[in-house]
Chains A and B, each alone.
Chain A
Amino acid sequence: MDILWELHPLTVRDVKARLGARSAYTTVMTTLDRLYKKGLLARDKDGLAFVYRPALDRAEYQRRVVEAAVGPLLEQGAGPVLAAFVDVAAGLSPQHLSALEQLIAAKRRRP
């Protein structure tokens, strides 16, 4: 993804050249194909080869990764994993939250 964010579109051969001798051609091809199927890359046919480009920019990708990590952490409940300031289970209607604000104001008026 880093290589394609820096420069795109690229073919499998181009990506392999930038990775150096670390990976086999088929490994790079399979990886790019999987990233395409996951919706992280887009591709177009150029002659006999595919050329790949990122489907998301780096910031959007980062946001999705964070959301995918945060969602289950908050929703599986605090439990033995984390102590959240506010449990998502505490979400209330705006009317109820306003009533609580009034409770605080009333408490302030008569300390």
Chain B
Amino acid sequence: MTALGSAVGFGVVFLLVVIAASALGCGVIAVGARALAARGPGAERRAAALAAILPPIAGALVVAALALHSATTIDHCEAHDHHAHLCVAHGGAWLARPWAVAVAAAAAVVMIGRAALLAVTLVGARARVRTLAAAAAVVDDVRVVESPRRFCFVTGVRRPTIYASTAALRALTDDQRAAMLAHERAHVAAHDLLWRRALEVATLIAAPLAPGFLARRWDDATERLRDRDAARATDPAAVAHALIAMCRGEAAWAASMNYAPPVHALTRRVEAVLATPEVEPRAGRGLVIGASALGVSVAAALVAFADPIHHALETLLG
């Protein structure tokens, strides 16, 4: 019972840190959207990735520091028995607090629910991709599928594969087709789907709305980044024309579904690809260095101030 109680106590702390940090990360990205956009899609992508990955790391750091503190210092529990202890030896009191048990259980349900939804999506998609693979003709590294809809995508984490429809290939000129395939090959080379899956897993227990917000930011920035890769490998105008040609086909579908698309999405991509710099600026690296420095500082502060933090959290929660 003590172990379960300790798990509830530390679980609540982990949850609070992750939710607060992910909400803060999303807020910073939303407020600094203009500044990030000025630094390019690489910086936007790194910011979304950091906002997804740092909160669980921060939560784990805090829990590790508290657990280590309780295991290595003199037992302080006798000194203040008026509240529950974040302690590996005396955690049973958390089970007597219905709110703590309810919060920990709700977090577990949300995390399992998000994981189950992800698993269902992946299993369904895998079956559909197998169907496409069976119907496709292999041409070089592209699987060509006979279809009246214009599409081209890469799918698969371990063995990323490019699929393109005959309608898409027929609708594009040679240079546009080369640009589109260069875009998809850039996704394959950068292992984008693997990183995207990692982002999905990292946000399983993030603040409400944070997973969707960060995923959209990451997706948008990644597409513009790959557009730039394709523009450098081929021609910016060819990439932009290919995007428009592909959208002409899908516009008919959107109209038939009475769907009102976000007008700015394609415009932003076309404008970004036309402004492709010769070499991708490494501005986003500053974010990673800054975030790493922040992480080290937080870890050092946790170690240095473990005792007061420990008591403050116990008083706050207990």
Contact = CB atoms under 8 A, between A and B. Distances in A.
A binds B: yes
Interface of A: 62-63, 65-70, 72-74, 76, 78-94, 96-97, 100-101, 103-104, 107-108
A73 B189 CA distance: 22
Contacts of A82: 125, 129, 153-155, 193
A76 B124 CA distance: 11
Interface of B: 118, 121-122, 124-125, 128-129, 131-132, 135, 145-155, 165, 168, 180, 183-184, 187, 192-193, 196-197, 199-200, 215, 219, 222-223, 226, 237, 240-244, 246-248, 250-255, 259, 261-263, 265-267, 269-271, 274
Contact of B129 (A73, A86, A90, A91): A73
Please classify the interface of chain B as helix (H, G, I), strand (E, B), loop, or mixed, using the class held by over half of its residues: helix
A63 B154 contact: no
A66 B261 contact: no
A69 B128 contact: yes
Contacts of B129: 69, 73, 82
B153 A97 contact: no
Contacts of A104: 237, 240-241, 244, 270, 274
Contact of A83 (B147, B184, B248): B184
A109 to B, nearest CB: 11
Nearest to B200: A80
Contacts of A69: 128-129, 131-132
Given A90-B261, A104-B270, A107-B274, A83 B251 contact: no
A79 B261 contact: no
A72 B128 contact: yes
B261 A86 contact: no
A77 to B, nearest CB: 8
Contacts of B240: 100, 104
A78 B219 contact: yes
B265 A70 contact: no
Contact of A66 (B131, B180, B192, B255): B131
B248 A80 contact: no
Given A80-B197, A81-B122, A86-B247, A91 B254 contact: yes
Contacts of A101: 241, 244
Contacts of A107: 237, 274
Contacts of A80: 118, 121-122, 193, 196-197, 199-200
